[in-house]
Amino acid sequence: MRHSAGGAATLTTVTYPFLKGHGTENDFVLLPDLDGTVHGDLTPERVRALCDRRAGIGGDGVLRVLRVHASGTYDADWFMDYRNSDGSLSEMCGNGIRVFARYLVDEGLVEAGQPIRIATRAGVKVVTVDGDLVIVDLGVAQVYDESPVSVGERTWQARHVDVGNPHAVAFVGDLQEAGPLRVAPTHDESVYPHGVNVEFVVQVEPGHIAMRVHERGSGETRSCGTGAGAAMVATAVRERAPRGTTYTVDVPGGRLWATWTQDDRVLLSGPAVVVARGETAL
């Protein structure tokens, strides 16, 4: 608060820094909060305001950047506090964590080319920034049975793959079969009690797929990193591809590469950039 010359109190607008970044056009608002003192009141309402594409900054989610000592005890130096654009908490975000790592390198907080241990609600992930590419180890893939997902009157059997968060991968003849994806596809709530990310996948050629995705808490997005990893795993299972095969994954916002390693880990690589920074009072 400040006072005018006549002594009347007037409100002072409090602002804080933000950055905007994206990984294959899956975009995020980054909130630096290294010591955890700035955004302890990061409410769902404020997340929705930040992500609003007309009245806010705009994004598929919010990445709060914390040092581990500010967020709890982890075997890592950093914690990614990720929120979906509807304000809900999320376990993990494959493109978001790559943008998070790019920010750390750009700011000189970590060294490029060295493994960066970043804690998430799905555990600690290791990320490496290598030139224009950012590579993340998403962890061990859990593969389960198929169950149905539906859009309108159309239904597909979808492979359940968990890479730190749940995915249902449906193979289609054409990506437009899923329609406009304005609402979340329906799913078996006994299989996905907390909701699910749904990928629609087509085969381009051996080792090359394309996909669309409806993300839990964000709607249809231009890309989903964990979704690309899940789609690759489901495709490899379907094709009985040998472990270590690298798949090209085309998304509406660009191209990613995913590998299912011999020890069941999913590696995801692709571009990630920070495109803007500023101050906001949202």
Annotated catalytic residues are: 93, 224
Is the separation of the CB atoms in 56 and 282 below 8 Å?
Answer: yes
Q: Closest Cα partner for 74 from 110, 120, 38?
A: 120
Sequence-separated contacts (24+) of 13-16 with Cβ below 8 Å? 13/281, 14/281, 15/279, 15/280, 15/281, 16/279, 16/280, 16/281
Tokens of 217: 């808490």
